[in-house]
Chain A
Amino acid sequence: MARILIVEDDPFFAEILACMLGLEGHDVTVANTAGDGVWLGLAKHPDVVVSDWFLRGGMHGGEVCRRIHAAWSDIKIIMMTGHHELLSQAAEYCEGVEAVLAKPFHKEEILEMICRALSGDAAFSPMHSPAAGPYHVSLDPVS
């Protein structure tokens, strides 16, 4: 079980992602704005942050994660975005980004990403999702 912070301003997406991860036994917190994401990330010190790139509130997900990672360097970050042209940018924005998921993605993809992040598996390999096509990027952790 892990403490997971979801930062996602789409309420439907946030709700189902939280529900799914909760059913897998994780302790899930949801932030629907960038500001709440930073606040909850600093306050709760999650194990994993799953953040969308585009957020309401004047700050994007990469900046949210950068601020949380600056306080808690051991957190693992999984970025997600529907803007596939931003995958590389999202991957390189800050330290701690373990993977970038292109929406839409399968349940098993994000579960595997979280599992690998928690286990500290450095040997990520690029994954293909039939839903997302060849847009999925996963990374070796920044050393």
Chain B
Amino acid sequence: MGQATLFKLRMDDSDAGRGSHTHVPAESDSLQKNERLACIGLLTAAIAHDINNPIGSALLAAETALAIKGTAGSAEQLAACLTNIVASLDRCGRIVKTLMRYTREEPVEKQACSINDVVEQAMDISRPYGDAHGADLRLDLDPEAPLAPMSPLEIELVLVNLIRNAIEAGDGRVVISVGTSAIEDGVRVVVRDNGRGMTEEQLAHVFDPLFTTRRRVGGSGLGMSIALGIVQSHDGWMRIQSEEGKGTAVTIDLPVAANPTEPDTANGGRNCHGSNPDCRG
């Protein structure tokens, strides 16, 4: 997990009784190894799609090679098939390595990436699911957002999870906006929806492994705990603002420096007051 311990569990007293809440996960939220293993189930499902493509590619390439071997003029096509097999299996290996990281506590392999590119990838992946559920997905990208060190696959996984949660929080038509911005020493991503929001109790447990509001539709409750783990392994932090009946906003801050300073929790702890129906932090 990331070296920085970032959060204190708190409920903002100013929101007491107003129905809107802010949750910042506790310092002690590092997953125990057995909990992490339990989370592999959700991660495996999420990665299954990615791995089915290279497996399928290698299978077709191998069968094609077998069909053409020995025929006149097949050398070039055989070489192409074998190249495809090697590349596909390499992709499979990289996907499995990402999965294995969560059992071995290996450090995240980071590279300087554009958060806007990662957000766009996540939206592309999520758009068909959103269309099928009547969700309106919108982007609001800051062209000035700096590059930040990250594992793009893992951050994409986090964003896909958040967007999916937002889609499923809507009953029929829901508007989901994903925005990026430059902040001091970092980049910020905010996933907002105008869905049903969360109750105080739900918000208090949102990062608990196996807690879910979506059991009836197959939710396993592992997504947010994994998402938090990924963000923390990037020395970033995450907060959730939600108002029942109004919507939810999930904010992720990622540092651009290799050794980030403590986040400004005073500025980051903006609250969604009950008087603000838009719930925009």
Contacts and interface: CB of A to CB of B under 8 A. Distances in A.
Given A16-B84, A19-B77, A58 B124 contact: yes
Interface residues of A, number: 30
Interface of B is mostly: helix
A16 B191 CA distance: 37
Contacts of A57: 124
Interface size class of chain B, counting residues whose CB lies under 8 Å from the partner chain: 20 to 34
Interface string A3-32: 000000010110111011001000000000
B59 A104 contact: yes
Contact of B52 (A16, A56, A103): A103
Nearest to B60: A16
Contact of A13 (B56, B64, B128): B56
A83 B129 CA distance: 11
B237 to A, nearest CB: 30
Nearest to B71: A23
Interface string B107-144: 00000000000000000110110011000000000000
A25 to B, nearest CB: 13
B80 A12 contact: no
Contacts of B215: none
Contacts of A83: 49
Given A60-B128, A106-B59, A15 B84 contact: yes
A53 B60 contact: no
Given A15-B84, A23-B68, A105 B124 contact: no
Contacts of B125: 54
A13 B124 CA distance: 19
A102 B52 CA distance: 9
Interface of B: 48-57, 59-61, 63-64, 67-68, 77, 80-81, 84, 87-88, 91, 124-125, 127-128, 131-132
Interface of A: 10, 12-13, 15-17, 19-20, 23, 53-60, 62-63, 82-83, 89, 102-108, 131
Given A20-B64, A104-B56, A105-B59, 20 more contacts: A12-B88, A13-B54, A13-B56, A13-B60, A16-B57, A19-B80, A20-B60, A23-B64, A23-B67, A56-B124, A82-B48, A82-B50, A82-B53, A83-B49, A102-B52, A103-B55, A104-B55, A104-B59, A107-B60, A131-B59
Instruction: List 6 A-B pairs, minimum CB-CB distance, nearest first.
Output: A82-B52, A104-B56, A60-B128, A103-B56, A107-B63, A82-B49
